[in-house]
Amino acid sequence: MRYEEFYRQSVEEPERFWAEQARLIHWETPPRQILDQSNPPFRRWFVGGTTNLCYNAVDRHLAERAEQLALVAISSETDATREFTYRQLHREVNTFAAVLQSLDVGKGDRVVIYLPNMAEAVFAMLACARIGAIHSVVFGGFAAHNLALRIDDAQPKLLIAADAGMRAGKVIPYKPLVDAALNEASAPPPHVLIIDRGLDRQMTRVAGRDLDYASLRAQHADAEVPVTWLESNEPSYLLYTSGTTGKPKGVQRDVGGYAVAMALSIRRVFDIAPGQVMFSTSDVGWAVGHSYNVYGPLIGGATSLLYEGLPTRPDAGIWWQLCERYKVRTMFSSPTAIRVLKKQDESWLKKYDLSTLKWLFLAGEPLDEPTARWITGALGVPVIDNYWQTETGWPAITLMPGLDLKTVKFGSPGLPAPGYRMKVIDENTGVEVPDGSKGVLVLQPPLPPGCLSTIWRDDDRYVYSYFSHFRELLYSSLDWAVRDGDGYTFVLGRTDDVINVAGHRLGTREIEESVASHPAVAEAAVVGVKDELKGQVPIVFATLKRDAGDGAADVAKAMQQRVVDQLGGVARPSRIYVVNALPKTRSGKLLRRSLQALAEHRDPGDLSTLDDPGALEGIRQALDHGPDQGS
């Protein structure tokens, strides 16, 4: 079937379309109603149907692929590789589920998981799903205060934590962060289940509260835990995302709709069939990690690679070595990670046999055209940008090589995914803008299966946060976008990351694209800073490729001229700083707000997820020294 017909059915005949897609998963009880949208903007998918995420990800594959690899957990930090077949994964998940039950965790209870990319993180997630508990994975090493906020909101019965993680060869102790978070939290769980990796030799335990997973695992090694069947719209997990009030929003996902979205997307979007291999480089603490490190590939009967480490350690070829070793078909990473590799010797991309690699998907932030062109040429395979949010749970805008691959347009993630009814509208009038005009990207309810169902225990906040921005009931993505005549959407950046220069509204993404088009530039971040005359002015922080050639001042001057030539004098960066590294989180996201704060001599805020503290110090030094171009 062609994309156009597939998409048309999904938006014009949603009940018929999603009833057909529902056949991709196992239902213990078939749904009695496909869609209930009697209370917009809320909606319920597959009403009355009962199913289970763990059963769909593990148990149902045992008959045909018990001895096939299901999960490969690789750590370049600890130099360890652990492989699990579907049969072995089933055993580990049953054991973990029995451990949870021994700690009085059951249906509807919340479990906070504070682990790095290790096999036990997957076991824990699936074990929660098996018994109907609601898991909330928090990025390993996240600051104690932020962990405490999530604990108080979720009110978990159990917290699962590792003794430590590792980053660039450095041990990052988790237990002191857990202790500090529980001391701050007003609703701490009664127990902490510790998975001791032997990394933190100084780790202390609180008697009666802190329990050892290895000991409990031995006690329940042969346990068989029956599946708890859940109604399709019961919550499966919570995933917290930042909120404007300072209180994190607990994005709540359902069971049945999410399972169907995973089954559809793993096959039709990512082109992964049973027995094939997917390598997602995300962390399990993020939305991509949930959907395409864990649930998506396993629901699809595939093999998932789970990676702990940097893309450049032990060398810049590690990811491509893994692609060769495990015959990866589809890889999923982020533009930031590719820009890191762009600074390395390109010979690493030629060293390994990548003949089985068919697709590279990138998401998490806008993919700039220079980076897209570079990695496409270097790999020789289609590079597919895709746009989604923690809230959507799976791509909202993408191309679908598993169905009908359309032309890749650099700078655009592509076309709407099935079920997503999109418009680009004027921010003031709410009227749809003409093709080629900039507006706010919105979704018309009902949101398709897989998207958030509400904010945990706060329906009012769900409506206010996402559906109160316009007179018409529309989900606001809070992203600027342009749609072309072919229906392709170009995402320009956050509506709240707009620079207002003397009354001219400029998206930071537009200026970043222009700067990054200079052949010497590896990566750029643009922020708006206060200016007494113009209100705000754009400033640029950029890193250069190793073989940049010209001096920093010459390149900076050329960058500035490119922006003027491409976007006009109003977009001219006030200052350009050439630096050695840009500050990023451990998941690879640029800390633009921290950059802005430093440039305005303000507190940069919470830096607990900062990957390289030296990068921030380099920014401070650059600001003290003065710009390479500008006033």
Q: Of 22-36, 81-95, 97-111, 238-252, give the lowest mean pLDDT range.
A: 238-252
Identify the three-state secondary structure at position 35.
Answer: strand
- Our CA angle for 385, 70, 281, nearest 5°, is 30
* pLDDT exceeds cutoff 80 at 366: no
pLDDT band (50, 70, 90) for residue 14: very high
pTM of the model: 0.87
* pLDDT exceeds cutoff 70 at 283: yes
- What is the signed CA dihedral for 392, 398, 400, 405, rounded to 10 degrees? 170
pLDDT at position 571, please?
Answer: 86
Q: What is the mean pLDDT of residues 20-38?
A: 98
* pLDDT exceeds cutoff 90 at 96: yes
pLDDT in tens, 224-249: 999 999 999 999 999 998 655 557 89
pLDDT band (50, 70, 90) for residue 365: confident
pLDDT in tens, 407-453: 999 999 999 999 999 999 999 999 999 999 999 999 999 999 999 99
CATH fit for domain 419-496, picks 2.30.38.10, 3.90.1310.10, 1.10.10.10, 1.10.1240.10: 2.30.38.10
Between CA 521 and CA 544 the distance in angstroms is 5
Q: What is the DSSP string of 49-62?
A: -EE-HHHHHTGGGH
Percentage of residues of the chain with pLDDT beyond 90: 78
pLDDT at position 146, please?
Answer: 84
* pLDDT exceeds cutoff 70 at 497: no
pLDDT at position 569, please?
Answer: 81
* pLDDT exceeds cutoff 60 at 289: yes
* pLDDT exceeds cutoff 90 at 125: yes
554 sits in which H/E element: helix 552-567
Between CA 420 and CA 417 the distance in angstroms is 6
Specify the CATH number of the domain 497-630. Answer: 3.30.300.30
Contact 49, 259 (CB under 8 A): no
Contact 225, 131 (CB under 8 A): yes
Query: Which of the pair, 430 or 604, is modelled with greater confidence?
Result: 430
pLDDT at position 332, please?
Answer: 98
- What is the signed CA dihedral for 194, 196, 201, 205, rounded to 10 degrees? 20
187 sits in which H/E element: none
pLDDT at position 367, please?
Answer: 84
Q: What is the mean pLDDT of residues 130-145?
A: 91
Query: Which of the pair, 587 or 260, is modelled with greater confidence?
Result: 260
Query: Which of the pair, 566 or 204, is modelled with greater confidence?
Result: 204
* pLDDT exceeds cutoff 90 at 60: yes
Is beta strand 80-85 parallel, antiparallel or unpaired with respect to 110-114? unpaired
Q: Of 120-124, 143-147, 264-268, give the lowest mean pLDDT range.
A: 143-147
Q: What is the mean pLDDT of residues 189-207?
A: 96
* pLDDT exceeds cutoff 60 at 61: yes
Measured from the Cβ of residue 28, the count of other Cβ atoms closer than 10 Å reads: 12
pLDDT at position 233, please?
Answer: 98
Q: What is the mean pLDDT of residues 466-484?
A: 95
Separation in Å, CA 305 to CA 118, 124, 514: 11, 17, 35
pLDDT band (50, 70, 90) for residue 514: confident
Q: What is the mean pLDDT of residues 585-599?
A: 83
Domain residue ranges of the chain, discontinuous segments joined by +: 419-496, 497-630
pLDDT band (50, 70, 90) for residue 503: low
- Average pLDDT for the chain: 93
pLDDT at position 504, please?
Answer: 64
To which residue do tokens 């749904």 refer?
31
Percentage of residues of the chain with pLDDT beyond 70: 97
pLDDT band (50, 70, 90) for residue 496: low
Between CA 196 and CA 213 the distance in angstroms is 8
| Region label for 141, one of left (φ > 0), alpha (ψ between -120 and 50) or beta (otherwise) | left
* pLDDT exceeds cutoff 90 at 584: no
* pLDDT exceeds cutoff 90 at 118: yes
Separation in Å, CA 439 to CA 395, 470, 489, 503: 20, 13, 11, 17
* pLDDT exceeds cutoff 70 at 612: yes
Burial class (CB in 10 A: 0-12, 13-18, 19+), 165: buried
* pLDDT exceeds cutoff 80 at 567: no
Q: What is the DSSP string of 438-463?
A: EEEEEEPSSPPTTS--EETT-HHHHH
